[in-house]
């Protein structure tokens, strides 16, 4: 890949929405879905009615406790790499829950209720996808070996998507180009022009979802192969460049026989990691979805040889504001005890909520957040450990300069602590919290077992905790933490460098969350942006 043949891409939805999948419906809409891992509600689904120019939130395919693993979810467990497809008026979303296995969600209305999942017995690995062929045969395709004599790679088999029953043997399709982690496979069909035969295409990611990430393609005259690799592989990668985003790959296509009125064009989505300009580059927002286009050459292969992609570091994304801003809020683990309630703020509340620097879908409107506090157990940090159930709720950080502002307006006298935090996972976070009984404001960083105290300040006697504010201000360098006293005075508490939140340090497959929490017994209410 070179720096002299870059093409623009656009951020679809800001904040971590990894492993994008896309399809085109019978009425020309684009549907997209994303991984959610341990977060509840999960598997967000978006649509575009203008060929990808704007995207709006539709629903979460997993929105009820019955659709989730019954056991607690740890960091980066849960739902991995969905594939979304429409067929005969039904939308199918096939995905792996790494705690339970592969499964299929279905709906007739992506704005409404999704069925409880159908479990696929006897399909190993992760990243399953569906392909509906013209003759009525439906195939499941996925990666990893099933044990025994099977070699690692990508496999396919016929399946009934309405019963989740595998209807034939597994067929090995390809082992990848470099052999490193072939994953996220998709099978497509592109119909021949002017009487020429049809081609089946197999596209997959490999190299790991880090700096070596790339997307490759092969083709065949049969859905089960043999597949011949593209001489121009890798199809998509930004490896060995300083371009933004980094780690791109895990792609999907829509409009194989033409898109937006161009028979030689298809829509291409892929994930990437926006980074700052440090050396080495640092990225901590999580893996986000990007949209570009793919042109087909006369030889039937994509015209992407020696191709790189670039986006603006401050790209606000193509998603329109949520119709219900509460839809942006998620918890790391299933809220079976109903500890959290998020509602749209009244117009009268808007003036009291600090204006955010972000105008993206996730942070465009204030919300009221009600938290029921249950006394936590264990060492410092387990309050937020999803293994023991969620102890916080928040929204995705949508840009490096995104700011999270919280205003308290009710705290039960039996609540011991309330606060806000920048949360990477249960091992890495930074928080501002009020110790109610001691009347102190505390700023802390928790990094893989290392607890650092940034500030511990007494609150003035005239300061009413129930009227105090909290601010976490993001930048390309990290976070500035501060609180706002009753009289409006801003007090700086400390700076947390971005490096501890970077994906190379914090680990896992998710990204940054701005959230609120309460400890003790009782409840707390927040106004958040």
Residues involved in catalysis:
19, 183
Kindly report the backbone phi and psi dihedral angles of residue 515, in degrees, each rounded to the nearest multiple of 5, phi listed first: -140, 175
Note the residue count of the chain: 529
Reading the block at residue 171, the tokens are: 């067929």
Sign of CA dihedral 140, 146, 149, 154: positive
If residue 504 lies in a helix (H) or strand (E), which one and from where to where?
helix 503-506
Q: Are 122 and 167 in contact (CB under 8 A)?
A: no
**Which run of H or of E encompasses 85?**
strand 79-87
Q: Are 408 and 467 in contact (CB under 8 A)?
A: yes
Determine which helix (DSSP H) or strand (DSSP E) holds 525, and give its type and residue range. Answer: strand 522-528
Q: What is the 3-state secondary structure (H, E, C) of 101-163?
A: EEEEEEECCCCCCCCCCEECCCCCCCCCEEEECCCCCEEEEEECCCCCCCCCCEEEEEEECCC
What is the chain's alpha carbon radius of gyration, rounded to the nearest angstrom?
A: 24
Distance between CA 43 and CA 80 in Å, rounded?
9
Task: Give dist(CA 197, CA 107) in Å, integer.
Answer: 34
Identify the helix (H) or strand (E) that includes residue 289: strand 287-295
End-to-end CA distance of the chain: 41
| Tokens of residue 529, six digits | 């942006």
Q: What torsion, rounded to 10 degrees, do the Cα atoms 296, 252, 203, 311 define?
A: 70
Q: If residue 349 lies in a helix (H) or strand (E), which one and from where to where?
A: helix 347-350
């Amino acid at each position: 890949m070179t720096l002299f043949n870059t093409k623009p891409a656009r951020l679809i939805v800001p904040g971590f929405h990894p492993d994008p999948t896309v399809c085109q419906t019978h009425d020309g809409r684009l549907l997209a879905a994303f991984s959610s891992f341990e977060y509840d509600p999960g598997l967000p689904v978006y649509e575009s009615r203008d060929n990808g120019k704007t995207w709006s939130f539709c629903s979460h395919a997993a929105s009820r406790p019955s659709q989730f693993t019954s056991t607690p979810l740890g960091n980066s467990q849960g739902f991995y790499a969905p594939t979304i497809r429409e067929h005969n008026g039904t939308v199918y979303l096939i995905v792996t829950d790494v705690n339970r296995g592969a499964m299929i969600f279905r709906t007739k209305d992506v704005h409404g209720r999704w069925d409880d999942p159908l479990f696929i017995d006897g399909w190993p690995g992760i990243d399953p996808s569906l392909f509906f062929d013209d003759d009525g045969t439906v195939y499941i395709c996925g990666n990893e070996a099933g044990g025994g004599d099977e070699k690692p790679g990508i496999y396919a088999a016929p399946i009934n998507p309405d019963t989740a029953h595998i209807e034939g043997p597994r067929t090995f399709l390809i082992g990848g180009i470099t052999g490193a982690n072939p994953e996220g496979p998709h099978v497509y069909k592109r119909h021949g022009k002017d009487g020429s035969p049809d081609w089946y295409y197999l596209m997959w990611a490999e190299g790991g979802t880090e700096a070596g990430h790339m997307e490759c393609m092969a083709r065949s005259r049969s859905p089960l192969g043999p597949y011949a690799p593209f001489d121009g592989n890798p199809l998509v990668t930004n490896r060995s460049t300083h371009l933004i985003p980094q780690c791109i790959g895990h792609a999907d296509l829509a409009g194989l026989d033409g898109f937006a009125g161009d028979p030689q064009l298809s829509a291409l989505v892929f994930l990437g990691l926006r980074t700052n300009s440090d050396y080495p580059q640092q990225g901590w927002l999580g893996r986000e979805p990007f949209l570009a286009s793919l042109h087909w050459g006369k030889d039937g292969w994509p015209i992407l040889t020696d191709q790189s992609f670039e986006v603006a570091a401050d790209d606000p994304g193509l998603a329109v504001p949520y119709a219900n801003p509460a839809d942006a809020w998620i918890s790391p683990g299933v809220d079976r005890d109903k500890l959290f309630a998020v509602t749209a703020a009244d117009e009268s509340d808007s003036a009291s909520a600090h204006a955010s620097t972000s105008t993206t879908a996730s942070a465009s409107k204030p919300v009221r957040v009600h938290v029921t506090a249950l006394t936590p157990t264990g060492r410092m940090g387990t309050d937020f450990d999803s293994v023991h159930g969620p102890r916080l709720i928040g929204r995705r950080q949508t840009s490096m300069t995104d700011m999270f502002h919280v205003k308290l307006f009710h705290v039960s006298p039996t609540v011991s602590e309330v606060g806000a935090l920048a949360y990477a996972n249960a091992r890495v976070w930074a928080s501002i919290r009020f110790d109610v009984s001691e009347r102190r404001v505390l700023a802390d960083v928790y990094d893989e077992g290392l607890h650092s105290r940034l500030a511990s300040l007494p609150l003035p006697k005239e300061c009413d905790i129930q009227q105090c504010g909290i601010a976490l201000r993001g930048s390309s360098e990290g976070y500035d933490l501060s609180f706002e006293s009753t009289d409006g005075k801003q007090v700086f508490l400390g700076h947390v460098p971005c490096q501890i939140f970077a994906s190379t340090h914090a680990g896992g497959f998710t990204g940054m969350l701005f959230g609120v929490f309460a400890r003790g017994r009782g409840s707390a209410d927040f106004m958040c942006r």
